[in-house]
A and B are shown apart, each in its own frame.
Chain A
Amino acid sequence: MASSTSITGLFSRLSLLSRNTTSTATATAAMTSTSTSRLFSTTSSSLARKAPPPAGGSAPKAVRRNRQAPKSENFFRIRTLRRNMFSPAPPPLRMARLRYLRHWTIHRAWQLFRRKQHEAIDKERSRMHAGMYNACEELRKTVGPGSRGEGYLYRVAMEKKGVYGLDGVPIEYARFQTDSPAKEAWNHEWKR
């Protein structure tokens, strides 16, 4: 029993081997044929420089249709995040002493520069905010044009027409504003 199986195994292996050898033989033949038909130049044709594409003029033949879903505006940022999030940390900086000292100097200067930039931006923004606040305060105190009362101009200025879309109202106002939630959160029996 065992011997017979081994023999069949042997034969099967033999047959496989023969098939393999034939296939490799054909492959080598094909390779030799290609090699004979090669040109004098030894660089492969794929490496050779291609002629530049014709400028403008005719319509490009192979326009790749973008069949994928349109990319979101954040596509590239997300791709960068994905690539970097799971990659190992970069190796530590290895520097000799003076080089490290130069690196440190540059780093400190960069931090200082950024701090100053942030402070300048903060200052400018708070200046603008204070200006707007003072203007609104002035409006609130003025007695309006003609027969309008005090603060009319302020109320007009604070109107948010068009801020929530044309003729829109903020979604918060879709419900009557209350201090506490309703006793009955949802009326399930309600039918139109």
Chain B
Amino acid sequence: MSRCQAVARPLARQLRPQCAIRPFTTGAARAAAAATEEVKQPSALDLDPNSVLPEFESDLIKAGKMPIGSRRRRVAMRTTASLPFEQLPYQAFQEARAILAADRQEKVAKIQEELEKIALLEKKDAALVKGGQAMKDTKLASLRRYVEQLKIQADINDPLVKKRFEDGLGDMDKPIYRHYAERKWRSYDYRLITQRIKQFNIVPDVLPKLDPVADVQLYFRQSKIPPGEIVDSLISENPPRLRVQVFNKGPRLVSLVVLDSDVPDVEKDAFSKRCHFLAANISLSPNDTSLPLSKIRADDQLAVPWLPPTAQKGSPYHRVGIYLLEQKPETKLDVAKLKELYASRDGFSLKSFRDKFSLTPVGFNMFRSVWDENTAGVMERHSVAGADVEFRPTRVHSLKPPVKPRGWEAKRQGPAYRHLWKYTKRIKGLSNARGWTKRR
């Protein structure tokens, strides 16, 4: 025994719980103790698979719940389950939290410093700044951008923030949650949307340039529609609900256009566009994301009501795009003028709409519609003409000259090869072993 153990022994003996005084014969007493243990009732903790004791495991398993984790862990959980996550007694974790907290303090101090700089610069007369008012504005903008960046940096290492974001409880008014949300969106949904823009030729056909910066998701009847999906016309009869997540601060006004860019135009033998929905002055902010089109009814918002997208029989699929255009800050569009301009839905040009009211496209989503068994009913209900028309693709003949039959057999058809005629019946495109196939 080492020296220190020898010293500590009497102390340890004192601290150890004193064992109960036992009579000389222990057998009966032990039996009695066992008998008392048998009648122990399971407590609420014993009914929980996270903290069940070994003796109640079998009851729980019979009830269909498997105990979670090791017995050792379960015993630990009986007393420590109420510990909050950040106080869990793991040494490395706590050390790491201390480091991160110190870093956060640094960042916050830096933010203070930058804010003071901004205040100083704001107070300063533009004539005293080198470069004048333009340079002052540039400097202020860059300082503010840096402060925003620092705000994100201050919170980006916090596990609780990450957890809250993953649970969907993040407050989108705070820059860190917006940062996380944008990163998540850019990692997949943005790429998907840009791919749809490219593969469905939205960019040259509808707008010359379109780079979405807001997340727009499309829901028909509570089910999410992935971008580019072909939607049944019965489902798209009612207006969809949009979930719009913007990633920059503050409220803004947007206008919303739903545009079918593949309406067949028989007279011109071409395709034209048709506006299916047009609304303006819709207020959006990072925290309110739900945008049901059926709820936009106000006089200063709704310009053109919802018309169900329909595709006539035989026409190729119609690309129905949902375009979100941001208005200039603090400016409202005149909806009466919009109503007057776009009352006839046909021939709507999104580019001219954008230019006329100086809007910026920020969000995009799309679905497709084709002729299906419900389309005729939908068209009848909404008095859309053309349900009785079926388009047929015009035959495009090949520009190549006709080719004479080729091959060994075709060369040996003449009378010089009379002795081979029984072998020369299979000519590609003309005949096969069962006889003549080419229709005359």
Residues on A facing B (Cβ under 8 Å): 98, 101-102, 104-106, 108-110, 112-113
Contacts and interface: CB of A to CB of B under 8 A. Distances in A.
Nearest to A110: B96
B100 A112 contact: yes
B139 interface: no
Nearest to B156: A108
B85 A106 contact: no
Contacts of A108: 96, 100, 157
Contacts, number: 36
19 contacts: A101-B85, A101-B163, A102-B90, A102-B159, A104-B159, A105-B96, A105-B97, A106-B92, A106-B93, A108-B96, A109-B96, A109-B99, A109-B100, A109-B157, A110-B96, A112-B100, A112-B103, A112-B157, A113-B99
Nearest to B96: A109
Interface residues of B, number: 15
Interface in B123-168: 157, 159, 162-163
B29 interface: no
B88 interface: yes
A104 B93 CA distance: 9
B159 A105 contact: yes
Nearest to A103: B93
Contacts of A104: 159, 162
A103 to B, nearest CB: 9
B100 A102 contact: no
Contacts of B103: 112
A105 B159 CA distance: 6
Contact of B100 (A98, A101, A105): A105
A112 B162 CA distance: 17
A98 B157 contact: no
Contacts of A106: 92-93, 96
A117 to B, nearest CB: 12
B330 interface: no
A58 to B, nearest CB: 32
A98 B99 contact: no
Nearest to B106: A116
